[in-house]
Structure 1
Amino acid sequence: MTLRDVFETLSGQPILLFLLLMAIPTGAFLVNLWSGDTAEEIWKWRYVYAVLAYIACIPGMFAFTLNIYLFLFERQSIWDMNLALQVLPVLTMVSTLMLIKRKMPFNYIPAFGKLSNFLTMITAVMGLLWLIDRTRIYAITYVPFTYILVGFVALLLIVRLAWKRIF
């Protein structure tokens, strides 16, 4: 079974996919209602928030990087986007993180920094691969490898700084 087969199977049942993905922000909304208003009550729910953040971010980050790959490398037209598989997970991730942030700062969610570090690494690698793909640097190059390495580290730091400012 290929990834294309999995996507075709999921695309065949968009209602089920929609219900599964919408259950995550609904769960975050319900946890916000049940967690109370005092800091001690909210603190008890931090692991539930962590699970919800991971459940939302893993498909969301995958869909985000898949979109980048499809648009930059495969040259997919925006008219050919599969909304259920390419847009809905990203919207689910954003809405869940917004709901979680209303109650608890991301600093207090266990291991949330690992998610942002992971997305930063994926973004930096995709940016580097796109740069290499566009400049044809892999075919003929007179650029020393240390310059490429310094550029990658600079790109990684820029993306990490931007990510911290967003969230």
Structure 2
Amino acid sequence: MSEQEFEMLFTESLLKLDMYIATQITKRQIFQAKGRRHHVERNKAFWKHQNEKGEPLVLCKQCGAIESSSYCEPYKTQIIERGLCYHCNSWTNEIAKDDPKRLVIDGHIYGDGGNQPNASRKDFLGFGGHVWTIERDGKVWQTNNLWSGSTVPAEYRDRMPDNARFVKASK
């Protein structure tokens, strides 16, 4: 692709990312989407270099981010075949996984690393060892080793609905 075609693609990517940001609902979703736009904008020289090397560039059909296919397999093939950026491809893969341990609470992914009541170093535990009470499928438990994942983007929420909730302590 010529330099002029690259410039047009790059500009289109930024415009589509601006539109994508407007589709996000929660503060966390908006923050993540703005971060992706910032990443694309700040790495223009990288995308330009990838184009000059002949590396295929993809304009993500989900969010609009420009992406190269310079990843290892299977991501390289997935990005090209699906027409998705690395981020959207990762969410597509995540949704396809049937992970019975995955907790989705208020649109955010968490993982329970297992309660460690006798841990000598709380700084090695998720959330610094803070105790959380969680309910899922009628089962309630406590953990002091909860790890934060990522906020599910708005377009994936219907395929990754909440499956748990935090239980507030009764007073």
Bin the TM-score by the shorter chain: under 0.3
Question: When the two structures are superposed, what TM-score results if normalisation uses the length of structure 1?
Answer: 0.24
TM-score (norm 2): 0.23
Q: Name whichever structure is richer in helix by fraction.
A: 1
